[in-house]
Amino acid sequence: MSTTTNTAAVISSPALRALNAELVQLIRAGVPIEMGLQQLGNASSNRLSQLANRIGVRLSAGESLDAAVSAEETAEARLYATIIRLGMQSGRLPEMLESMAELGDQMAVLRQEFRRSSIYPTIVLVLSYAMICAMSIWFIPRWLLTLESFNIDGGWMEVVLRAMHDHAAIWMPTIPVFGLIVLYLMGSTPIVRAGLLANEQGAWPSLQVVSGGLAWLLGVPDAVRWVQWLYVTSLLTKEGLPFEDCLIQSEYLLGSGRMRADAREARLALASGVGLGAALIRIRDLPPFVADAIEIGVRTNTLPLSLELSTGVMLRRVHRKVEILAGIVPLVLTAVVGGGCALAYAMMVFGPLTVFWSGLSLPI
Alpha-carbon distances, residue 330 vs 8, 113, 187 (angstroms):
42, 14, 17
Q: Are 355 and 147 in contact (CB under 8 A)?
A: yes
Q: Are 215 and 197 in contact (CB under 8 A)?
A: no
* 3 state DSSP class of 111: helix
Residue 94, class by beta-carbon neighbours within 10 Å (0-12 exposed, 13-18 middle, 19+ buried)?
middle
Q: How many CA atoms lie within 13 A of 320 on its CB side?
A: 8
The rounded Cα 67 to chain-centroid distance in angstroms is: 29
What is the block-wise mean pLDDT of the chain (364 residues), using blocks of 10 residues? 36 66 81 78 70 83 86 77 84 84 81 75 77 81 76 75 86 86 65 58 48 71 85 87 82 73 86 86 87 90 91 89 76 72 68 63 54
DSSP assignment of 10-75 equals ---HHHHHHHHHHHHHHHHHT--HHHHHHHHHHH--SHHHHHHHHHHHHHHTT--HHHHHHTT-SH
| pLDDT of res. 5 | 37
Distance (Å, rounded) from C-alpha 287 to C-alpha 16? 28
* 3 state DSSP class of 151: coil
99-119 burial, b at 16+ Cβ within 10 Å, e below that, comes to bbbebbebbeebbebbbebbe
| pLDDT of res. 255 | 66
Q: Where are the domains of the chain?
A: 2-91, 92-364
Name the DSSP class of 362.
S
| pLDDT of res. 310 | 92
